[in-house]
Amino acid sequence: MDEPIKKRVDESWKEQAEREKRTAEAASSSSRQPPAPGQETAAGREEVEGLPQARFDLFIQGLAMEALIGLGDAPHPATRKQAVNLPQAKYLIDLLGVLEEKTKGNLTVDEERLFKDLLYQLRMRYLTKSGGVAPA
C-alpha cells in the first residue's frame, strides 16, 4: 500500500511553446521593416486577435455608432443603457463632417457614398432630437 506514486510528465508542450515563440519572433522582426511600395506583408493583413482589420469604412462607422449612442438611439456598450447626450452627438457628427471635407478626392466611390449616407442620417436624427439646427 505504500507504493510510490509514479508521475508521468509530458514535456512536449515546452517544445511546442518554444516553436511558437521562435515563429512569433521571426514574424515580429520581419514586420518591423516596412514593406516595399505596393507590397503588403501577410502579417499586415492579419487581424489583431479579437479586433477587425483596420479599415477606413470601419473607422467612420465606429464614429457614427458613437454619435448614435450620444443621440440615444443605441445603448452605451458599458452601461447597456440609452441616454441622450446631444453635445457629444453634435461633436461626433461635426468631426465626421471635418473628416469628409479633409478626405475629399482621396476616397473610393463606396467610401464617399458611405460617408454621405452616414452624415445625412446622423444630421437628420440630430435635427429630430434637438428640434433645431443641424450640425455643420
| CA triple 82-125-51, angle to 5 deg | 60
Domain boundaries defined on the chain: 56-130
Distance of alpha carbon 71 from alpha carbon 62, whole angstroms? 14
All three cell numbers of 78, joined, read: 458599458
pLDDT digits 0-9 by tens, 69-115: 999 999 988 899 999 999 999 999 999 999 999 999 999 999 999 99
- Dihedral, CA of residue 29, residue 34, residue 35 and residue 37, to nearest 10: -170
All three cell numbers of 3, joined, read: 507504493
pLDDT for position 42: 45
Cβ-based neighbours of 94, under 8 Å, separated by 6 or more:
135, 136
pLDDT digits 0-9 by tens, 104-117: 999 999 999 999 99
**Residue, of 101 and 31, whose pLDDT is higher:** 101
What amino acid occupies position 128?
T
